[in-house]
Amino acid sequence: MIDIRFVRENPEAVRESQRRRGNDESTVDALLAADDARRSALQTFESERARQKELSRSVGKASPEERPVILAQAKELAERVKALEAEAARANVAYEEANRAIQNIVLDGVPAGGEDDYEVLRHVGTPRDFAAEGFDPADHLDVAEGIDAIDMARGTKVSGARFYYLKGAGARLELALLTMAADQAEANGFTLMVTPTLVNPDIMAGTGFLGAHSDEIYYLPADNQYLVGTSEVALAGYHKDEIVDLSDGPIRYAGWSSCYRREAGSYGKDTRGIIRVHQFNKVEMFSYCRIEDAADEHQRFLAWEEEMLHKVELPYRVINTAAGDLGSSAAQKFDCEAWLPTQNRYMEVTSTSNCTTYQARRLHVRERTTGENRIAATLNGTLATTRWLVALFENHQQADGTLYVPEALRPYLGGRDHIAPVDRK
């Protein structure tokens, strides 16, 4: 949800945010109307309830002759107050629905437009010249199968399309990546968490994931719970309905979890290998911080993501995501995209979002202050995930079929600097 006081005072800024996202700006006027109706209904209810209390107090002071009349008036007023209370409740529900229809207000500097309107902030590293090395690169699945790291066929047999087994070197590489990410997170003050992957509806809704892209989420109707697509959801809900102390700086968590996405609408897109799959593992950074510190915290998250990419020696670029391609809770998002040589394109491997107060407002997470407690800000960012293997396989393959292991990963793989192909004859 967004701060209704900000909307009242800056309606045009909110309309502009909606326009930049490509959303219907009339939702802003609908929210203001719902807010007026809610406040009017609440004021009428509270005024009549005060009159009811005053009338009730007068019963004991009334004479025997006056008492029946006053009791009749009190009964009639009680029915009216009950009806007004119900009306105020309905008006509040309508207000909350109108508020939830508006996505987070985008920050200055976020480009307008959709998926293709991002701003490239920088390129880091130089893609390999495979032609100069004398061979054509194989795609990630061929490389992985060459070192017996992935079994797609049996994944499909057991669970269906877009499922897979990581095995041998593939399983070890994923664990190495995630463990290195966990170590880096802890070194920077994050508390490592292994989080639940099933959450209740109020938590999923509170993080903003039940909006336009809710068809991406697995829902278990028998349990009325959702499978998470990121540990961000569980970490955002960790302090629900709590007051947190941010006087010593941000509270940072790193969530290690399996993640599940239906990949609805992506049929026919990246169907080969493990670029778009239904289940994967991830280490996710999450921060609760003061509103004033959120922009700086966002830059820190991006720097930590880039540090991980340097460790695995991948060429990449950083983009400032356009407003229309932001999730509903993000006010700004930076993506790091690794080079994919066989597709001659960059592929997203990390993203970090500044959600300002949007999630915390929905989940009632407040910051303790010397005056009145106030809503906190939240941020999230990916440190490593299964998809990184795609970029590792493609960028670090060798002409003889071996896989080069980046130096920073070697301590997590028993010191191995290469992984040799497997003869499966």
Q: Which of 297, 351, 366, 367 is catalytic?
A: 351
Q: Which residues contact 36 (CB under 8 A, 6 or more apart)?
A: none
CA distance 329 to 344: 31
Structure tokens at 19: 């326009």
Q: Which of 15, 21, 261, 366 is flagged as catalytic? A: 261
261 is catalytic: yes
Q: How many other CB atoms are there within 10 angstroms of residue 114's CB atom?
A: 13
Q: Is 270 helix (H, G, I), strand (E, B) or coil?
A: coil
In three state form, how does the secondary structure of 28-52 look?
Answer: HHHHHHHHHHHHHHHHHHHHHHHHH
Catalytic position from the list 276, 290, 410, 416: 276
Q: In what helix (H) or strand (E) does residue 150 lie, and over which residues does it extend? A: strand 150-151
16-25, long-range: CB within 8 Å, 24+ apart, which pairs? 17/103, 17/105, 17/106, 17/323, 18/102, 18/103, 19/112, 20/106, 20/110, 20/112, 20/113, 20/323, 20/324, 21/103, 21/106, 21/323, 21/324, 21/326, 22/113, 22/114, 22/323, 22/324, 23/102, 23/103
Question: Out of 46, 96, 306, 348, which one is annotated catalytic?
Answer: 348
At 113 the three-state DSSP class reads coil
348 has catalytic annotation? yes
Alpha-carbon dihedral angle through residues 119, 121, 124, 130, given to the nearest 10 degrees = 20
Give backbone dihedrals phi and psi of 106, rounded to 5 degrees, phi first: -70, 150
| CB contact at 8 A, 258 and 280 | yes
Strand-pair partners of 375: 366
Is 276 annotated in the active site? yes
Q: Which residues are catalytic?
A: 261, 276, 348, 351, 387
